[in-house]
Amino acid sequence: MPAALRFPGGGWVASSGALIPLAIALAAWWVPDDADQGYSQRIFYFHVPIALTTYAAFAYGAFCAAAYLKTRDPRWDLRSYVGVHVGAIFGTLVLITGSIWAKVSWGVWWDWSDRQLNVFLVLFLYYCAYFMLRFSVDEGEQRMSYSAVYTLLGVGLIPLSILAVRIAQSLVHPTVFTTSGAAMTNDMFMTFLVAFAGMLCLAAGMIAMELRGKRAALRVRELRRRLEGTDL
């Protein structure tokens, strides 16, 4: 691997660096037009993978939160925090790409009757509040416990969000994945998979890099404390 990529997460970033441009190329030129929506539908190939990656990042955050509560090992808390953080970043991208898609396809920046988008908004708001909670508590065991509990509560929101979509019929937001399988051709599915894989790699890379950065900062602080004599 080239020296520039030899850092934690480098492998993931390299993969995403290959997959995402490929996905862009496939989505822009190779894949055939969608029968209903025309060219503008292509943003779907990014919007949905980014959304799924957001869910994946939050799920990773929740998994690490549960691991923290079980083991009380602060490393799990850090992983959980970084997972939620990267999820929040991707979540912002979902809302932006979603708005672009909505504007281009249906002429509005936001559609309040679109349940999927709004329910995603709820989850996004919830995890933004996570940061408010985390930083109102002094660093330590309490902060880690509370963050973990809050993250796990959010896990309840994910299936309930999906259920809310089922109950309220939305005529606007195209539902591509149903219980009977994906409503798209093989070409489209492949493009979708490439983009999804690329996004997951990017998220994993970002998580690895952020973890590395946070751990380095903690190490510096530990050294500073040792110098000042305020270490434990």
From 18-26, 117-125, 180-188, 212-220, give the range in contact with another protein by CB under 8 A.
117-125
Whether the CB-CB separation of 9 and 206 falls below 8 Å is answered with yes
Region 168-187 residues binding another protein, contact defined as CB under 8 A: 168
| Least distance to another protein, CB of residue 158, Å | 10
Residues 6 or more apart from 110 whose CB is under 8 A from it?
Answer: 99, 102, 117
Region 202-231 residues binding another protein, contact defined as CB under 8 A: 230
Region 68-107 residues binding another protein, contact defined as CB under 8 A: 69
Cα gap 139→145, rounded to integer Å: 11
Does 164 sit near another protein (CB under 8 A)?
A: yes
Nearer to another protein, 89 or 149 (CB): 149
Among residues 114, 120, 103, 100, which one has the least CA distance to residue 172? Answer: 114
Does 64 sit near another protein (CB under 8 A)?
A: no
| Least distance to another protein, CB of residue 4, Å | 37
Cα gap 33→149, rounded to integer Å: 45
The three state secondary structure string of 164-182 is HHHHCCCCCCCCCEECCEE
| Least distance to another protein, CB of residue 212, Å | 24
Among residues 11, 42, 40, which one has the least CA distance to residue 191? Answer: 42
Does 163 sit near another protein (CB under 8 A)?
A: yes
| Least distance to another protein, CB of residue 207, Å | 23
Nearer to another protein, 42 or 85 (CB): 85
From 10-18, 143-151, 170-178, 183-191, give the range in contact with another protein by CB under 8 A.
143-151
> Which residues make beta-bridge pairs with 38?
34
| Least distance to another protein, CB of residue 175, Å | 17
| Least distance to another protein, CB of residue 167, Å | 5
Where are the alpha helices (H) located in the chain, listed in sequence order?
10-25, 44-71, 74-106, 115-134, 141-167, 186-228
How far from chain centre, in Å, is Cα 79? 14
Binding site for another protein (CB under 8 A): 69, 119, 122-123, 125-126, 129, 132-133, 136-142, 145-146, 148-150, 152-153, 155-157, 159-161, 163-164, 167-168, 230, 232
